[in-house]
Amino acid sequence: MSAAKTHITIEQNTEYLKRYAFLERACMRTLAGWLPGVPEWEAKNEIGLHTWESADSVDLIYSRLRELRTYQPERGLSLRFKRIMQEIDHAANSAEMIATVYLVIKKALLAAYRQHPDVTWSDFDRPTVKITEKVLPAVERQVAWAEAFFSTIQHNYPGWEAWRDYIAGLLAADGGVTGAETPGPEPVRPDNHPLLLPWKECQRMQGWPIFDPSVDVEPDRKAAPEAHRLWRFKHYLNEMTAAETLGSILWMTPEMTWEYQHNVSRHLWDEIRHSQLGQVRVQQLGLKIEDVPQVVQIYNVMMTLPAVDQYALLTTVIEPNGMPEKSTNREHWEAIDDEISAAAVSYDWSDENFHIRWGKKWTPVLLETYGYKETPEEIAARTEAWLMENTPVRMQQKMAIESHQGGTSDDSKQPY
């Protein structure tokens, strides 16, 4: 009998899965934090989806780890390995972030997931094989997107290779994704890589028009249905800033439980989807995305608040206040036989129910975790007063005022 081992042991299998989950979580975190910092519109849309997909892969792997009786999936990981999560945040620009998150880490994960069924005792470890089969298609798509997209932007960001090589070197120095490869030498960190996160201002491509609050007039729904519809879907397109806000909130609250992070990453993607329903609709109505003024101001002004205040404001004030208008719009669009707009807002409304539910669940936990003395009701009142003073979007002020004018028929405003 040969002494050479043909497959990894159950203990090694558990260690591999812990490392996969950790790297997926690192990618989720960096993608969320970088969402506001990436100016390229296509990349923002993809990063929003991939933040959620990375989180969902973490969640799947955690579930298998629990079956393997591992309840603390980060226990025992080497400090060198854990350093990768901090270091990938320090990219200097879009190209360095994409080159490391996707073309180093995700690509290495892809290879590991593909090999896993051959490495483990597949006959006895079918549940793990099923997990790797489930997470694989998303990573395959993510890497394929990044490779194609990167080739279109890399010339705008000369010098990205040094950062890519450094992060690849960090992973290699700890034995690669599985930790089982022969460790490479400790890489030298390139100079001039201060942490740019959290982004104080969200980034857009140069020359894109910026929203002017003074000319943002809401057309009358009944008297001017076409103008009203276009106006409304331009605001939907700008829900990109809600996704960006959630990206920074997620990045700034790492002390919160995994379940919270999983929920916020989904919330983030939902806001990308709401932006996309605006993108789809304005294009159908004859505009180009880059013609629509970008409401960057709301992200920028919300970033003057701490993460907890931002989360409470979004989920316990802005989102509940917005519900009645969605129901009215659906009825209006159904009445004028605009089934596309009605379908779009019906999914938005459905998503928002969950966002509000998450807000009720997590705001008290955030207040407790970060040592606030306020109750959820107090922080809602305080941040709503702040919103009335500071929002550049008149629609948000109007929704706030209307929500206090006998809007008791809407369930979403009622406490559970």
Cβ atoms within 10 Å of 146's Cβ, excluding its own: 21
- We find the least distance from the C-beta atom of residue 104 to Fe ion, in angstroms, to be 32
Pair of tokens at residue 395: 């629609």
Binding footprint of Fe ion, residue count (CB under 5 A): 6
Q: Which residues ranging from 141 to 180 are in contact with Fe ion (CB under 5 A)?
A: none
By CB under 5 A, name the one of 274, 281, 330, 332 that touches Fe ion. Answer: 274
Spatial CA neighbour of 117 closest among 127, 109, 108 = 127
In angstroms, the CA 406 to CA 82 distance is 52
- We find the least distance from the C-beta atom of residue 350 to Fe ion, in angstroms, to be 11
- We find the least distance from the C-beta atom of residue 389 to Fe ion, in angstroms, to be 22
Pair of tokens at residue 382: 């305080």
For position 235 contacting Fe ion by CB under 5 A, the verdict is no
In angstroms, the CA 83 to CA 170 distance is 8
59-67, 203-211, 279-287, 353-361 -> range binding Fe ion (CB under 5 A): 353-361
Site string (383-402) toward Fe ion, x via CB under 5 A: --------------------
**Nearer to Fe ion among residue 23 and residue 277 (C-beta):** 277
- We find the least distance from the C-beta atom of residue 245 to Fe ion, in angstroms, to be 10
For position 273 contacting Fe ion by CB under 5 A, the verdict is no
By CB under 5 A, name the one of 106, 107, 204, 355 that touches Fe ion. Answer: 355
Q: Which amino acid is at 143?
A: V
**Nearer to Fe ion among residue 68 and residue 340 (C-beta):** 340
For position 46 contacting Fe ion by CB under 5 A, the verdict is no
Site string (303-322) toward Fe ion, x via CB under 5 A: ----------------x---
In angstroms, the CA 196 to CA 37 distance is 8
- We find the least distance from the C-beta atom of residue 242 to Fe ion, in angstroms, to be 6
99-107, 280-288, 335-343, 355-363 -> range binding Fe ion (CB under 5 A): 355-363
In angstroms, the CA 109 to CA 169 distance is 15
95-103, 112-120, 207-215, 351-359 -> range binding Fe ion (CB under 5 A): 351-359
Partnered with residue 210 across adjacent β-strands are: 294
**Nearer to Fe ion among residue 40 and residue 271 (C-beta):** 271
Pair of tokens at residue 17: 């899965």
Q: Which residues of 382-400 are buried (b: 16+ CB within 10 A; e: fewer)?
A: ebbebbeebbbbebbeebb
Q: How many residues does the chain have?
A: 416
- We find the least distance from the C-beta atom of residue 267 to Fe ion, in angstroms, to be 7
- We find the least distance from the C-beta atom of residue 305 to Fe ion, in angstroms, to be 18
By CB under 5 A, name the one of 239, 244, 309, 338 that touches Fe ion. Answer: 239
- We find the least distance from the C-beta atom of residue 22 to Fe ion, in angstroms, to be 29
SS3 at position 407 = coil
For position 281 contacting Fe ion by CB under 5 A, the verdict is no
Helices 240-252 and 41-67: crossing angle in degrees, nearest 10, is: 40
CB-based contact 303:198 (threshold 8 Å):
yes
In angstroms, the CA 220 to CA 177 distance is 57
For the chain, the C-alpha Rg in angstroms (whole number) is 23
Residues at the interface with Fe ion (CB under 5 A) = 239, 271, 274, 319, 352, 355
